[in-house]
A = this chain, B = another copy of it.
Amino acid sequence: MLIPIGVVRHDASDVPRHCSISELEGELVIDEAYRPGLDDLEPGQELVVLWQFHLSPPFTKEHLHQTPPNQDRPKGVFATCSPVRPNPIGLSVVEVLAVEDGVVRVRGLDMYDGTPILDLKPHKARSSG
């Protein structure tokens, strides 16, 4: 079972297609019970945010192939970032700008205002080779 630990807040009506091309700033507002877990997050670091595609319809076998925006043919769902997936979990990598009173201010959001947050993790790139 998934338990939201907080919620995404920003005031943009239009959301970038993917965090890798987003400069959108906003807040990760963490529920009081989980706020002590934010200790040691630092401005400047990259943070993985796992969140819920809370507005997506249920996944059915018709969604096994989907045509991504700006592409001309259907692809296997696991080769896409579609919000309609067997487990509706989204992933964004954002930059931490500030942490204060249970609120993490970040840049790079690509989810809607009001999106439930599931987890935060330090981002570690895979060493090549």
Interface residues of A toward B: which range? 35 or more
Contact partners of A75 in chain B: CB under 8 A: 39-40
Interface flags, A1-27, vs B, CB<8A=1, else 0:
111010000000000001111000000
Contact partners of A55 in chain B: CB under 8 A: none
Q: Would A37 and B121 count as touching, CB distance under 8 A? A: no
**A90 to chain B: closest residue by CB:** B121
Number of identical monomers bound together in the oligomeric complex: 2
A63-111 residues with Cβ-Cβ distance < 8 A to B are 64-65, 75-81, 85-87, 89, 91, 93, 95, 108
Write the residues of chain A forming the contact surface with B, with a CB cutoff of 8 angstroms.
1-3, 5, 18-21, 33-34, 36-41, 46, 48, 50, 61, 64-65, 75-81, 85-87, 89, 91, 93, 95, 108, 118-122, 124-127
